[in-house]
Amino acid sequence: GPWLMLGSLLTNLEISPDSPSHDHCGTCTRCLDACPTQAFPKPYVLDARRCLAYLTIEHPGSIPEEFRSLIGDRLFGCDECLDVCPWNRHAQQSRELQLSPIPRADLPEMLEWDDTRFRKEFRNTPIFRLKRSRWLRNICIVLGNIGTESDLPSLEQASRDKDPLVCEHALWGIQQIRERLKTEKAKI
């Protein structure tokens, strides 16, 4: 299936290119249908500006508000299209510890990390490439989507961060939690 880790190999060897892959999808559109942002305008075409993997990993700035709630609890990437692909049904889960999920309980604590702590914890991991500000941006969005009242102090502290990217997303996260709390209280 399409589960793979992209990487690079530098060599001075002459290597013949592989032949193009055959279309194994047929009429299947599961990946297109599963995408939370409709990032596939048509088969084999991806609009990266709408892709949650791009937005949470590659995008350097503010994540547009229209996509923040769609990020849900995804801190780093999105695999919805890969999860539904029938070619992946027999794929084995990685035993690589660096690819293991991060416990949700750690998120408020991570908002308090300075750059030194971020570098120490994530050196030699895929998350390191985000740098601290984009990692905290993503945490603020996730806490805004799934956080509770107990997460507000950490978000409030993050809203005073020296990095404007972190501040903006922390304020958004605070607003989302407060709106949820207000809605929940109105139901009672």
Domain boundaries, the chain: 30-91+103-187
The residue to which tokens 């914890």 are assigned = 121
* DSSP structural state of residue 179: H
pTM of this structure:
0.85
pLDDT at 4: 62
pLDDT at 23: 83
Q: Are 98 and 124 in contact (CB under 8 A)?
A: yes
pLDDT at 73: 94
pLDDT at 6: 61
Q: Euclidean distance between the first and final Cα of the chain, in Å?
A: 48
Query: Which residues of the chain fall short of a pLDDT of 50?
Result: none
pLDDT at 66: 98
Q: Please provide residue 187's backbone torsions phi and psi, each rounded to the nearest 5 degrees.
A: -75, -20
Cα gap 42→29, rounded to integer Å: 9
pLDDT at 174: 99
